[in-house]
A and B are shown apart, each in its own frame.
Chain A
Amino acid sequence: MQTPHRSEFHDFATGEIAPWADRIDRDQHFPDTLIDKIAERGYLAPWLPREHGGRDFDSLTLGLLHEEMGSVCTSTRSLLTAHGMVAYSVSRWGNPTGRTELLRALASGKSIGAFALSEANVGSDAANPETAAQKIRGGYRLDGEKCWITFAQRADIILVLASLDGLPTAFIVRRENPGLTVEPINGMMGARGAMLARLCLDDCRVEETDMLGRPGFGFTMVASSALDLGRYSIAWGCAGLLRACLEATMDYTSVRRQFGTEISNHQLVAQKITQMITAQRNADLLCRHAASLREGKHHNAAQETMIAKYYASTAAMTAASDAVQLHGANGISGDFPVSRLFRDAKIMEIIEGSTQILETTIAGFAQPTIPHVARSRPEAVNE
């Protein structure tokens, strides 16, 4: 069942997206024509049921889509990730009033989503936003700023996490809201076509029905469950990026000759290739394991997804670094894709749970008494 979809995704990624990847990176712009093509294929929120405009993709099929997209263009995969997180949040926690219509708009591409969690002073400590929400008659008022928001330059529907009387709470803000200002962020190191923006919310008023979930559950349930999907998407995307590094390296080292032979025949080059091959296999296996658990609704699925993201993103960074190294001067020029892959890989180690946050969290799966967990248990501090 997966093979026909894999071919479909591969053909679309290589035929429609790959020819644009360098230009998207260079121009720091993602063209609407590509968004339209992605939407026409039903790739924006494909796990949604068909009655909501989706394609009923299971977890593995969704993963393969992100892997193929990630192998050619991280900015494209970023669109699917961010938009998917918003669509998931609406489907799971959205107010029943207008939810179906909104889901159809998100699935069709009529509306593009952005997930506004981060702020200038709020990164890993995402559960404590400085953006404030205040109850007013008929709805809520939002004030604050969000930063580093993927595809916010283009988004029509933005999920915003704010503090409502000290309780993290999620809201939907529409682009046309007069209290919302969008300021493009350019010059990012990688994923340069991901259309990042800063959001200024100044007396931004939303309806009561624009709340997702309930007060106090904006991070614990709404954002956390969406971030779980985001990590899953990025894990597969990194597996794809890693594969692209391997393929680029094989292409180059099999023709580049030094000292009378192709450089792939040199032992230290072969060592790097072997490490890349093994890492790609490992990333793929971890992603598939996460897919299996997610499909079975296993309660450990989120943990295994986190492990897959951690491994795939760090392995992709290592592979990209080695790929650049093996390309020599060509690797640090703009003429070969590996320099872009390197820059994109670095971003993946920072977003959706930085490497360091994941390392402390994953260690806690086995040892709940390590310091970072003990700190959250006041009675344990004095043990």
Chain B
Amino acid sequence: MPDGLNVNAPADVRTTIRDYLIRVSRQSDLSDDHDIFGNGIVNSLFAVEIVCFIEEAFGITVVNDDLDIANFCSVDALTEFVGRKSAAA
């Protein structure tokens, strides 16, 4: 988990997620509501990497009940998902 990251502060989580997706997609103009799966930015390899990233960055574990595209499809969705998982932990 990045040093100083406060998972209870959505701004930190959102920034971390946004920075990561911009870096791996090289889409500097990626908006927070951009559907990264629906628009073909993310393939199956990146999907595995995204899960690995959020698990390691935020100390959560993605389980079967979390497998809903609505949890992973955008910066907004991932931020909300991480927030829910962290709050439940």
Determine the chain B residues whose CB is within 8 A of the CB of A302 once the complex forms: 45, 48-49, 52
| Docked pose: A216 CA to B72 CA in angstroms | 13
15 further contact pairs, Cβ within 8 A, besides A220-B44, A377-B40, A378-B39: A93-B64, A213-B64, A214-B64, A214-B67, A214-B68, A219-B44, A221-B47, A225-B48, A225-B51, A298-B56, A299-B50, A299-B56, A302-B45, A302-B49, A361-B45
Confirm or deny: A267 has a beta carbon within 8 angstroms of a beta carbon on chain B.
Answer: no
Determine the chain B residues whose CB is within 8 A of the CB of A378 once the complex forms: 39-40
A221/B48 contact (C-beta < 8 A), A213-B67, A368-B26 known: yes
Interface residues on A, range: 20 to 34
Determine the chain A residues whose CB is within 8 A of the CB of B64 once the complex forms: 93, 95, 213-214
Dominant SS among interface residues on chain B = helix
| Docked pose: A301 CA to B52 CA in angstroms | 9
Which residues of B does A touch, CB under 8 Å? 20, 24-26, 39-41, 43-45, 47-53, 55-56, 64, 67-69
Of A95, A214, A224, A361, which contacts B47 at CB under 8 A? Answer: A224
| Docked pose: A377 CA to B26 CA in angstroms | 14
Is the pair A228, B26 in contact by a Cβ cutoff of 8 Å? Answer: no
Is the pair A228, B48 in contact by a Cβ cutoff of 8 Å? Answer: yes
Of B40, B43, B67, which contacts A217 at CB under 8 A? Answer: B67
Of B24, B43, B53, B67, which contacts A221 at CB under 8 A? Answer: B67
| Docked pose: A368 CA to B25 CA in angstroms | 7
Is the pair B39, A377 in contact by a Cβ cutoff of 8 Å? Answer: yes
Is the pair A220, B68 in contact by a Cβ cutoff of 8 Å? Answer: no
| Docked pose: A224 CA to B41 CA in angstroms | 17
Q: Of all chain B residues, which has the CB nearest A296?
A: B56
Of A93, A216, A377, which contacts B69 at CB under 8 A? Answer: A216
Which residues of A does B touch, CB under 8 Å? 93, 95, 127, 213-214, 216-217, 219-221, 223-225, 228, 297-303, 306, 361, 368, 373, 376-379
| Docked pose: A214 CA to B70 CA in angstroms | 13
Q: What are some 15 contacts across the A-B interface (CB < 8 A)?
A: A213-B64, A214-B64, A220-B48, A221-B51, A224-B45, A224-B47, A297-B55, A299-B20, A299-B50, A302-B45, A302-B48, A303-B45, A373-B40, A376-B40, A378-B40
| Docked pose: A127 CA to B44 CA in angstroms | 9
Determine the chain B residues whose CB is within 8 A of the CB of A379 once the complex forms: 39
| Docked pose: A52 CA to B57 CA in angstroms | 27
Is the pair A306, B45 in contact by a Cβ cutoff of 8 Å? Answer: yes
Is the pair B49, A300 in contact by a Cβ cutoff of 8 Å? Answer: yes
Determine the chain A residues whose CB is within 8 A of the CB of B43 once the complex forms: 376
| Docked pose: A216 CA to B47 CA in angstroms | 13
| Docked pose: A225 CA to B26 CA in angstroms | 23
Is the pair A297, B56 in contact by a Cβ cutoff of 8 Å? Answer: yes
Q: Which 6 A-B pairs have the closest CB atoms?
A: A376-B40, A299-B53, A214-B67, A224-B44, A377-B40, A297-B56
| Docked pose: A361 CA to B45 CA in angstroms | 9
Determine the chain A residues whose CB is within 8 A of the CB of B53 once the complex forms: 299
Is the pair A299, B45 in contact by a Cβ cutoff of 8 Å? Answer: no
Q: How far is the CB of B8 from chain A (nearest CB, A)?
A: 22
| Docked pose: A299 CA to B54 CA in angstroms | 9
Q: How far is the CB of A377 from chain B (nearest CB, A)?
A: 4
A224/B48 contact (C-beta < 8 A), A299-B53, A368-B25, A377-B41 known: yes
| Docked pose: A220 CA to B25 CA in angstroms | 17
| Docked pose: A368 CA to B24 CA in angstroms | 9
| Docked pose: A216 CA to B39 CA in angstroms | 17
Q: Of all chain B residues, which has the CB nearest A96?
A: B64
Determine the chain B residues whose CB is within 8 A of the CB of A303 once the complex forms: 45, 49
Q: How far is the CB of A130 from chain B (nearest CB, A)?
A: 18
| Docked pose: A301 CA to B68 CA in angstroms | 23
